[in-house]
């Protein structure tokens, strides 16, 4: 499968903080940002660089630079915005779009309520953000919308992923690589990741 699961002691340590139900809103939000930054580093491992010449305090030398204008971050509202802070620290000049989807609690299907992205998606690398890849519905729908609007180079970044969501995402969008901090056991009868960390949006924004 086109999935990269990060495996590092520091990530496991950070995940333990996120999973703990007693972790407060401030710390939860900060750790989501930190983990998002780490996942982004891995997602950009194969990034193309422009060769430039700079002058150090010692001499002139060749260096390599990322064209930040080529990147677009698309958080799926609202939980995906919790990942933005960390990614903007990595690529501060990236463009940002938003896709608003919420889950119908009866059908577990995503419902669209907002869509706003840069117009020239075809020439940029588009990175979709959502802390949880659970059923896969929101991620699949978001990627479908982006492809319909010209996006060709896409990646999906999350903190936790369930095997069911990965499988469904790969069935519908096998060309879109998934990067996650960890792959959990399964989904429960309510569509939540087990062991998971609860509702990421509620915990990021302190709404429960």
Query: Is the confidence at residue 109, as pLDDT, over 80?
Result: no
Q: How far apart are CA 153 and CA 71, in angstroms?
A: 10
User: Catalytic residue at 141?
Assistant: no
- Decide if 147 contacts 154 (C-beta within 8 A): yes
Average pLDDT over residues 170-176: 96
Active-site choice (29, 202, 203, 207)? 202
According to the model, what pLDDT value does residue 191 have?
87
Region 9-24 average pLDDT:
95
Catalytic, 202? Answer: yes
What confidence score (pLDDT) does residue 1 get? 67
Report residue 68 as tokens: 């930040």
pLDDT, greater one: 56 or 109: 56
Mean of per-residue pLDDT scores for the chain:
93
173: which residues sit within 8 A by CB, 6+ positions away? 140, 143, 144, 154
Please provide residue 192's backbone torsions phi and psi, each rounded to the nearest 5 degrees: -95, 145
Q: What is the mean pLDDT of residues 171-197?
A: 95
pLDDT at 141: 92
User: Mind listing the pLDDT tens digit for each residue in 32-70?
Assistant: 999 999 999 999 998 999 999 999 999 999 999 999 989
Active site residue 130: no
Q: pTM of the full predicted structure? A: 0.92
pLDDT at 108 over 80: no
And the tokens for 140? 């699949």
Query: Which helix (H) or strand (E) element contains residue 71?
Result: strand 71-77
Task: Assess whether pLDDT exceeds 80 at residue 208.
Answer: no
Q: Is 4 labeled as catalytic in the residue annotation?
A: no
- pLDDT reported for residue 115: 92
Q: Which of 107, 124, 175, 203 is catalytic?
A: 107
Please report the domains of the chain, with CATH numbers, ordered by start residue. 3-205 (3.40.50.2020)
Q: Mean pLDDT over residues 2-28, rounded? A: 95
Q: What are phi and psi of 132, to 5 degrees?
A: -125, 125
Give the whole-angstrom CA distance, residue 93 versus residue 74: 14
Options 19, 29, 85, 199, the catalytic residue:
199
The pLDDT of residue 122 is above 70: yes
Q: Which of 50, 103, 124, 175 is catalytic?
A: 103
pLDDT given for residue 7 in this prediction = 85
């Amino acid at each position: 499968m086109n999935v990269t699961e990060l495996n590092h002691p520091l990530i496991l340590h950070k995940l333990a903080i996120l999973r703990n139900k007693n972790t407060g809103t401030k710390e939860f939000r900060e750790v989501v940002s930190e983990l998002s930054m780490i996942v982004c580093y891995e997602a950009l491992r194969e990034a193309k660089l422009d060769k430039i010449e700079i002058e150090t305090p010692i001499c002139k030398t060749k260096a390599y630079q990322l064209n930040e204008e080529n990147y677009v971050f698309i958080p799926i509202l609202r939980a995906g915005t919790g990942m933005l802070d960390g990614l903007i620290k990595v690529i501060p000049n990236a463009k940002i779009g938003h896709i608003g989807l919420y889950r119908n609690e009866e059908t577990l299907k995503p419902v669209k309520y907002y869509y706003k992205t840069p117009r020239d998606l075809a020439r940029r690398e588009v990175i979709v953000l959502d802390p949880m890849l659970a059923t896969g519905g929101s991620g699949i729908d978001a990627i479908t919308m982006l492809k319909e609007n010209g996006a060709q180079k896409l990646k999906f970044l999350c903190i936790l992923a369930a095997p069911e969501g990965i499988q469904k995402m790969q069935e519908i969008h096998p060309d879109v690589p998934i990067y996650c901090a960890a792959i959990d056991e399964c989904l429960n009868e309510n569509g939540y990741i087990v062991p998971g960390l609860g509702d990421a949006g509620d915990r990021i924004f302190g709404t429960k």
